[in-house]
Structure formats: structure tokens, C-alpha cells
Structure 1
Amino acid sequence: MCTALSDQWTPLVVTLRRSNKKSQFITDAAASSCLCFIPVAAVMSKKKQKVTPELKSDDSKKLVYGRPLPPPPQSKPPSRPQTEKPSPARSMTSAQLESPKVKLDDKSYRSSSASVLNPAGSAEKLSASQYRKKIVDEILDTENSYITSLNVMIEKYLNPLRTNLKFAKEPYLDIFGNVEDIYKTNQVLFESLKVKTADWQEDTQIGDSFIEEGSFLKPHYMLYTQNYQNAQNALAQCEKNPAFAQFLKETHESTGENLRSLQIKPIQRITRYTLLLGDLVRRTPPDHKDFESLNTSLDKMLQTARGVNEVVKAGENRQKILNIQNQFLGRMNLLEAHRIFVREGQLMKVCRKSTKSRWFILFNDIIIHASLTSIGKFMSHQIWKLSDIRTEDIANRDPTGTAFQIVTASKSFVVYALSKQEKIEWLHDINQAIDDYVKKRATFGDRPLHEGDRIEAPVWQQDNEVSRCTLCNTEFSFLKRRHHCRACGRLACDPCSSNRCVLKNVGISPVRVCDVCYEQVTQLSSSGVNP
């Protein structure tokens, strides 16, 4: 998708694929490989009386008993099948704008000793003046090539579609966005650069050309980027028309330019400007007449690049959430203006009778607990706000080192990650998301829920974890059934758990509790304490 503009560029193969990692989520539509060229200079830089007292306080928390963890799953479950069908539209991702090693900060562009055109270690030795001339030539050559490509996009693709009536009902105009505005602006920039460099001298200045046109470049490129995903979707829709598909094929053959490749060039061009201008600034002496103008130009271009990158990331996030939303059975509205996808993945959940594979999806405000159905769709079991959950590392009770607890008011349970590293990543991402969410809500006047205020559900013992009642030691059998205490999670026989009380975190109906927990609740009530 990117093309090498010089033999001096170092190729870096970037494989774009689905990822559970926070900073690498991309749409399946973009799951392909592309060859990007990143300059070395940028890479180098950076149970009693039947009463029903109500348990209202955090005393339920005191009734949770620590115990050894149940045995971990014996084998790793199969990973989630690929249920999403790739969209015909290939989405552009921020990975194509900016390599993970290339950061949009001033130091990356001003402090490197290597050059875009002459990497460190190259046998070619040029003076500062020669470097400047070579970089300026590269700016002109690549600008000319870029404008030529934009012209092909307009004259060979857009204009013929405008005059062809059989395509009148197709949303073909959405394919091109405001490319004509970009073309006109870049033409002016190119002509200005040509005039100023026609008679190259040591003191030739080009920084003001970028300053003058920079005020026009940013709004045009921001608008184009905001429309980019719509443009990709429009192209995919139009390609279903056989006549349109044939038109694209013939034009590609005659021009050598593919429309989908042309669509991304304006976005890639901004990053190219920052690289070349950054290199030029490094090769320009501080006392040169053009030094200040070039620095100002670079600052403007970096601002534009950051803006474009943020728009791209927002588009990726929106598309990712839509893809997840479409994978659920029934109606599931996940798309919110403030919502950001963080990570998703498989965790083995310790359930009452066995350990089962579950899928968890973490956003910046909620976490979804789901399972995959036989038809390849998700079924949601629970959605919690991040302010209502916490995690607990239980390494002292887990010989595998892969288990942790997810604790909420309504339900708490143990999950196993597929590896120690994945557990670390999950704990980090969930806790970080919780911290960020609570801080954000605090700015709106929401009082953070302190530890003493929190009412949490206990983690239930697994049915096969014990074979006897944890209170009377009676062996469980067909007649001696086992029951879970809703207050502490322990397994008890029917005589030892025949009492019921209201637990605030469960609801308004009395629920089964063991004799120990029932005794504690009644003592609190009789002492005048509002339990």
C-alpha cells in the first residue's frame, strides 16, 4: 500500500491482524499484510427461627471464606472461531499512518542524527548543503508524483463517473470525498515550491510555502480522513455493480493506478511531509534564513498529522465496536460516542459444575461476559459498569499462576487466562480502565465507591470441590443435596442452609444462606445494628 520513494528507505513488513492487545485493535476488514516503508531516522528515535432479617451493610463481605482454588482446567480450550466475515471494504488503520516505532513528537523529527535519504552507516557522504538540496529535490519529486496520482483519481475515475448516467444512482461521489480540494491546494504548494527552487542557492527558502498553504492543508485533509471509512464502504457497495467493477478494472489497466490504493494516498502524504520536513530541519543550520520557517512548517504539519491520526483511530474504534455489536444474538447497542474498545479474549470461567470457556470484552466503561453459541454468535451473560467491579490476583492459591477473580455485587467468580503473561495483561488493562473510568466520573460529581461501601457477591465453591457439608461434615448424596450459601458461597447441606434472609446485593427476595451467615445476620439485628 505504501511505495518506496527512494532506495535509501528501509522496508518494514507490518502484518495487520486481529489482536487482543490494547493498542493494536483493528477491523477484520483490515486483516491483511502491507509493506510499509519507514525511514531509519524515525525508527531510531523512540440454618434457626424462621425470620427474614435484611442484610444491608457490607457484612456480607465479612462472610466470605478463603479457601483453596479448584483445580485448573486440564487443557487449553480451542480459541474463538473467526465468525466475522471480512468486509469488502479494506479499512485503513493507524498502523498505516504511523509505525509503532515512529512517534509524532518533535524530538523524533529534530534530534535524530540519521537522515531519511541517507541512513546512518551509508557510504555516501554529503555536506549539509548537499543534504538540503537532495531533501528538497525529494520533496518536489514526491509532490509531483502525488499530484499526478490525484489527477488520475479525478480525471480518470471521478469525472468519467460524473458523466456516465448508468452510475448516477450509485454513491460514487462518496468514494472521492473532497479530493478535488486537496488536489487544488497541493497544486498551489507544488507551483510555489517549483518557483522558489528553480534557481537553487545556498540561502534558498521554502518554509514559507508550507506555512502559507498549511492553513488550507489541515482542514482539507481532516475532512478527507473523517470521510475515509465512508469512502471505503461506498467503493465496496459500488463494486457490486458489474459495470462499475468492469470500469475499475479497465481504468486500472490503462493508468496503472488502483482506485483503492489512490484513496489512501492523501492520508499517507501527511506523514510523508513530517518525515521530509523533519529531515530538512535537522540539516538546516540554526543561523540559516529558512530555519525558523521550516520549524514552523514542521510544527504545523505535525499538528495536522496528529489530528489525522486521531480521526483514524476514532474510525477504527467505531468500526471495531460495530463489528463486535453485530456478532451478538438479538439487539445489542454498544455504539456510544464516549466508548472505546480496550481488549477482548478468551478466559476459562470456574462455574458451579465445571470450568467453561467464556469470552470477555473490555471497553473503557463496561466489561461484557459472553459465550460463543453453536451458530457462531455471541450470547451476553452479563454487562458490568467498570465502577461496579474489581479484580483480585489470587496467586497465593493458584499454582498455575494464571487465575484471578472478577468481583461484583451480583456475581463473583474465578477465571483462568491462557498464560501467565495474558493474565498480567488482563489485570493491567482492567485495573487501568477502572481507574480511568472512576476518575472520569469523579469529574462529573460522582462519588467514588470506597472499599467499605462496597457490597460484593462471594465466589461460589465448585460442586466437585468438596464432597461433604462445610458445616456439619455430612457427606453429600442424592438425598443429602448440596446448596450454595448466597452470602459466603460455601457448600452446605439442606439442614445447614434452610434459613433465608434478604441480601441487598442480590435483591428484595429472601435467599438461602448457611447457618453461620444467618446467625451473624440475626445477631446484628438483635443488637440494634441495621445489618
Structure 2
Amino acid sequence: MNSSHEDNVGFEIEPTTPKYELAFSAELKQIIQQKNMLTCKTRSKVVSALEDIDNSFTEKSFKELRTRAVNEIYTSELSYLKQLKIIKVFFMQPIKEKEILSRSDFQTLFGSIDTIYNVNKELFMELKKGTENVANAFLKIAPYLKLYSVYAYGYKNSLHTLQKSQESNTNLANFLEHTESRPEVQNKLSALLITPIQRIPRYRLLLKQVVDYTLPSNSNYSNLLDSLHKIEQIANHINSTLEEQENTQRMLELQRSLQNKYPVIVRPGRQLIKEGILSKVSHNGARNYKRYFVLMSDILMYCKMKRDDPKLPNSLKCCCILPLNKCKINVVADKGIFRIFCQNEVLVLFHEHASEGQEWVYALKEAIKKYIVNRQTLRKESSAKKPARRKELCQFEDAGISPGHPRKKRNYTLDFTDVFRNTENDSDNSDEEKSYSNPFKRLGKRKTG
């Protein structure tokens, strides 16, 4: 121990980046050019010969790397098929035979597994034909890989069903505990069910590797690019499907958060873009109020929070809805303060963190721009839309279309009217909410009061 310490005394060891070492042929070519050795004709012949050696070496190296990448696809597919077979043999068959789950729960859990297994088995058979058949194998199977989006769409629901069934179904809980510990399985069912979700992104990585190690001169190069492009399209489609599902789920949660679930904000094509708390300045600038803002693809809604957690049922009371096509955004200062103009409505808003306020400004401007562009490509909607408040909200079927189609009388109930009515008990609302509809009227009322 002492000797090793003594050996290092007086030497300062610093981390250094290793120098790039040229291949022998490239190094020799560099020396010949620098030293101006040989005659022009001889030098040209030598350099040309060295370049041929380089190209031969590169081609050989790429071929080895490509073969390794193709083999990885093959072994990876074989491993994946084994995992699918474990689901089929050790979980699906016994559960179905013993009727451990109801038919609907079984379908929710394993509905697409059989089809996925058959498709991937066909892909594996194509891959077995040889290393040069990779591109053709994926091009042949690509249209059927779209069923993965169906599986991805139902994946969260299947996990929820599995968890709920384990808690309520003792037979299932005992069966899973026994089966998951078997030597042939040694895996949890939940971990096996996620493998199809991971598969398409895995194909994209593996195919990208093969393309990178294939020279453009290779006869399969264009087919490889096509197959990679198709896999990327499928991966993007699955991602957008999952995002759409999450968006829809959050919209439904938000609908439940509104008192008495009104106004109706869930409608086809409407997407949630951003939500959060902003401070809203009163008309006279003396006070500000915390409000929960929800930016959607065609409207902006803000609500008074009745509970600390806005995700709880009946935790939000809708104050106002602004149609985006009538909104304009004006930045007041660099500190995240901004104004929203929407016909006779003027909102002055800010966030305690300036960066978050700037994010809201960017999100609002982008949403307005996108909505206006989309409106130009679709059938023109009524241009008579205006901001809707309280009692106006309950007169129309959908949020953000006032004036629009009046509600039918059977939907016009007292409870629904109460949800959007300004009450005297809302002390922090009395000045702030009335001020924007007609500020001069508000001043007049104060004078007479």
C-alpha cells in the first residue's frame, strides 16, 4: 500500500480524452501527402490504393455491425414471443378454464393478446428467412401492427381491472400468487402485460440501428428506410392515441370537478391544453383573487375554487367562459402580468412566478392562433359568440357557445341556475365578478347604495 503511494508521488494525474488514432492506411496516406513523397503519378496510384483499402475496411466493419443488429432483432423477437406465450399458457388458459374472471373482465385484460401473438409469430417466421429479409418482414407485417394502438388504448383500463379484481376476487389473488412464482414464469402478470406497449418503440430503435449500419449502396437500403418510416408512423399513432385518452380522461375529471357538473365542457374535438391557478386583478386594481383557469382548444374558462384540491368533485364554480376566437392577449410587463381582451371583458392576470405567467401567455397565443386557423378550414361557426357568465351559462347546452342553441325547458332547472348565480354570500366575488360586465353600472350602483 505504501509502495503504491510512493510510486504516485510527484505525478499529477489528470483525466484526458484519448487521441483519435488513424487507421494505418489513412495515416500512411496523410504522411505521403504532407511530405510530398513520390512522383505525382505514383502518389496518385498509392493514395487510390489506400482509399480502396479504407473502403473495403469500412464495408467489412459495417457488414459485421449490421449482422449484429439484425441478429438482435431476431433474438429480441424470440424473447418477446416467449413472454406472450407465458401470458397465454400460464394465465389466459387456466383463468378461462377455471372461470376465475367474468367474461367482460377477461376480455378487458387479455382481449388483444391472441391476435398480437399471431401477428408477431408471422413476423418471426419472416425474420427466420435470413438477414436480408428484415425490411420485407416489417413491410409485410406493418399494417397489422396498428392493432397495438387498440391494446395501448385499453392498457390503463386493463391494469385498473387487474388491480380491482385482485382486491375483490380471492381466487384470482391466490392464483396469481402461485403462478407468478412458478419457475417457468418468474414474473408478475402486470409486468408481462406492459411488454406489448414497449414493443413498437423497441422496433424503432432496432431498425434504426440496422439502417445506420447499412450502406446506401445496399440493395435493401430503400426498403429498410420504408420499413423504419412505417414503424415510426405506428409509434407516433400509438403515442397520440395515449395522449388523446389521457386528455379525455382529464376532461371528464374536470367535468366532475364543476359544481353539479355544469356547464357541459366535454364535447367532440375539444382538447384540454393547460390548467392552473392565476391571480385575477379586480377592476379598480385594489385586490386580486386566486382563480382556477382552464384553457381548452376553443374556450378559456375560469372558476372560483371551493376546495383546496381542484380535482375533487364539486370543487370548482364556473365564473366565466371566453371563446378563443374573440380573445386578444396583451403583455403588460416582463414580470408575467398580462391582459385578456374579449369583447366587453377585460381580465388582468398574473402568476407569482413570472416564468409561469409567460408560459400562460405563450399557450394562450398559440391556442388562439391554432383555433383561428382550424376554423378557416372547417365550416364557419356562428360569429356571434360572446363571453358567457353565470346565468347566461345555464341558458345554453354547451360551454362557450353563447348565444347559441337555447336549452330545452326540461333541462332548465332551479339547481342548475343556482350554480352560476352571483350570491350575496360570495363576498370576494361581489366587487370583482360584477365589475367586468359593465364597470359604469357598478359605479352607479355603489353611488345609490
Match status 1:374 vs 2:312: no
Deviations 1:458-495 (A, max 9, x none): xxxxxxxxxxxxxxxxxxxxxxxxx9796555985779
Q: Which amino acid aligns with 2:211?
A: V
| Residue number in structure 2 paired with 1:344 | 275
What secondary structure does 2:228 align onto? helix
Separation of aligned partners in 1, 2:224 and 2:129: 17
Separation of aligned partners in 2, 1:236 and 1:196: 42
Matches within 5 A, 1:133-152: 133-152=67-86
Give the 3 Å change call, closer, same or farther, for CA 379–189 of structure 1 in structure 2.
Answer: same
Bigger proportion of residues as helix = 2
Q: Is the contact between residue 408 and residue 456 of structure 1 (CA under 8 Å) also seen in structure 2?
A: no
Q: Which amino acid aligns with 2:289?
A: K
Separation of aligned partners in 2, 1:236 and 1:366: 37
Separation of aligned partners in 2, 1:323 and 1:412: 29
| Residue number in structure 2 paired with 1:164 | 98
Separation of aligned partners in 2, 1:148 and 1:489: 75
Separation of aligned partners in 2, 1:410 and 1:239: 56
Query: Number of matched residues?
Result: 336
Calculate the aligned-residue CA RMSD, in Å: 3.3
Match status 1:354 vs 2:354: no
Separation of aligned partners in 1, 2:231 and 2:342: 47
Separation of aligned partners in 1, 2:120 and 2:159: 23
| Residue number in structure 2 paired with 1:306 | 236
Deviations 1:337-380 (A, max 9, x none): 20111111111112366322111011111112012213742222
Q: Which amino acid aligns with 1:427?
A: V
| Residue number in structure 2 paired with 1:386 | 324
Separation of aligned partners in 2, 1:374 and 1:456: 23
Residue in structure 2 matching 1:251, options 171, 176, 179? 179
What secondary structure does 2:266 align onto? coil
Matches within 5 A, 1:12-161: 127-161=61-95
Give the 3 Å change call, closer, same or farther, for CA 179–456 of structure 1 in structure 2.
Answer: closer
Q: Is the contact between residue 442 and residue 448 of structure 1 (CA under 8 Å) also seen in structure 2?
A: no
Separation of aligned partners in 1, 2:351 and 2:228: 45
Per-residue deviation, 1:448: 9.4
Matches within 5 A, 1:315-464: 315-332=245-262, 333-351=264-282, 354-374=287-307, 376=309, 377-395=315-333, 401-409=335-343, 411-446=345-380
| Residue number in structure 2 paired with 1:479 | none
Gaps of 5+ in 1: 1-125, 198-203, 458-482, 499-511, 513-531
Per-residue deviation, 1:269: 0.8
Matches within 5 A, 1:458-497: 487=438
| Residue number in structure 1 paired with 2:226 | 296
Deviations 1:122-160 (A, max 9, x none): xxxx81011011111211121111111111121122111
Q: Is the contact between residue 251 and residue 272 of structure 2 (CA under 8 Å) also seen in structure 1?
A: yes
What secondary structure does 2:300 align onto? strand
Deviations 1:179-220 (A, max 9, x none): 1111111112213323425xxxxxx443222222223223x2
Deviations 1:85-131 (A, max 9, x none): xxxxxxxxxxxxxxxxxxxxxxxxxxxxxxxxxxxxxxxxx810110
Give the 3 Å change call, closer, same or farther, for CA 328–247 of structure 1 in structure 2.
Answer: farther
What secondary structure does 1:406 align onto? strand
Give the 3 Å change call, closer, same or farther, for CA 322–260 of structure 1 in structure 2.
Answer: farther
TM-score, structure 1 length as denominator?
A: 0.57
Give the 3 Å change call, closer, same or farther, for CA 358–293 of structure 1 in structure 2.
Answer: same
Give the 3 Å change call, closer, same or farther, for CA 488–131 of structure 1 in structure 2.
Answer: same
Q: Is the contact between residue 409 and residue 456 of structure 1 (CA under 8 Å) also seen in structure 2?
A: no
Separation of aligned partners in 1, 2:165 and 2:336: 48
| Residue number in structure 1 paired with 2:204 | 274
Gaps of 5+ in 2: 1-59, 310-314, 390-433
Per-residue deviation, 1:283: 0.8
Q: Is the contact between residue 177 and residue 231 of structure 1 (CA under 8 Å) also seen in structure 2?
A: no
Give the 3 Å change call, closer, same or farther, for CA 165–445 of structure 1 in structure 2.
Answer: closer
